Amino acid sequence: MSLMPFGDKSLDLSLPHVMGILNVTPDSFSDGGAFDSLDTALRQAEKMICEGASIIDVGGESTRPGAAPVTVQQELDRVMPVIEAIKQRIDVIVSVDTSTPDVMVGAASLGAGLINDVRALERDGALVAAANTGLPVCLMHMKGSPQTMQNQPDYVSVVDEVVDYLIGRVAACRNVGIDQSRIILDPGIGFGKTLSHNLLLLQNTHVLKQLGFEVLIGLSRKTMIAEALNLPVEERLFGSMGANASAFSKGARIFRVHDVRPHVEMLALMSRIERES
Ligand code: 7PJ
């Protein structure tokens, strides 16, 4: 057992867990209307929980390459009703995918159990806000910003640079009182990386684990899968599963995915095989 508390619940991170992606950006809904989007989001959350997701990751900022920035109020308006509705109806860990201090604090007040920040708490006030919630945090590496990150990313050694960056962010967390046991690390697949950078980071997933942290991987349906396989967007599931299986075998335990059931079943088998005696 390796229990990590996530607010009012905890997870045994000696086992793999699936984090289901719930985007609440306007472009992720087919039709407008506040009720429609809340209803759609709730049904999607319920479906992912039925399929075995341990965590629902709610995000109101699109971080796709080139995406337009969002205001704090827009982000609050998108994310808060969804987190509130899920926590009122379903006993599940909700994670908030945000870099915005006010959203971290607001989500925590509604019962969110994890702060997932693609900017690793670099925004002004984010470290202190996250520390005040008492929640665990996922620190992700990104090179540049979503607007610029895919403009010819370049590293001397991508693995060393990502490790050094994350160690620095861990130190910053500890300075504001966020205990090391509450920190999850993520190499940031697709965030300022070429296909080769992404493959090298996945090949070295164990390096992050060996620093003494749980590792989260988010590669579901990302461009790297299509690039590696020469496939269109809608056919990235099998490749995503293969890459996540590799990350599991190198120590990652949380998998941020769109397609929950296939990953839950794949990971259940991988974990069973590892544990059989
Ligand atoms: C990630 C994320 C990821 C973590 C996104 C997308 C882009 N959070 N949020 N790790 N990616 N921790 O899903 O295509 O890789 S948004």
Is ligand 1 within 6 A of the CB of residue 192? Answer: no
- For residue 103, the number of C-alpha atoms closer than 13 Å in the C-beta half-sphere is 30
pLDDT attached to residue 25: 85
Active site (catalytic) residues: 222, 256
The pLDDT tens digits of the residues spanning 38-82 come to: 999 999 999 999 999 999 999 999 887 777 889 999 999 999 999
The pLDDT tens digits of the residues spanning 141-185 come to: 999 888 888 888 899 999 999 999 999 999 999 999 999 999 999
% residues pLDDT > 90 (the chain): 87
183-186 and 55-59 as β-strands: parallel, antiparallel, unpaired?
unpaired
In a 3-state reduction of DSSP, which class is residue 58?
strand
pLDDT at 36 over 70: no
% residues pLDDT > 70 (the chain): 96
Q: 257 C-alpha to center of ligand 1: Å? A: 9
User: Closest ligand 1 atom to the C-alpha of 219?
Assistant: 15
- From first CA to last CA, the distance across the chain in angstroms is 16
The pLDDT tens digits of the residues spanning 107-131 come to: 999 999 999 999 999 999 999 999 9
Amino acid at 120: A
H or E, element range at 241:
helix 237-249
The pick from 28, 57, 97, 114 for probing ligand 1's pocket by mutation, whose C-beta has the most ligand atoms within 8 angstroms, reads 97
Is ligand 1 within 6 A of the CB of residue 118? Answer: yes
Domain boundaries, the chain: 3-275
The pick from 75, 118, 139, 224 for probing ligand 1's pocket by mutation, whose C-beta has the most ligand atoms within 8 angstroms, reads 118
Please, which pLDDT band fits residue 30 given cuts at 50, 70 and 90? very low
Q: Give the mean pLDDT of the chain.
A: 95
Closest of 195, 196, 194 to residue 151, by C-alpha: 194
pLDDT at 27 over 50: yes
The pLDDT tens digits of the residues spanning 191-217 come to: 999 999 999 999 999 999 999 999 999
User: Closest ligand 1 atom to the C-alpha of 62?
Assistant: 16
What is the CATH architecture assignment of 3-275?
Alpha-Beta Barrel (3.20)
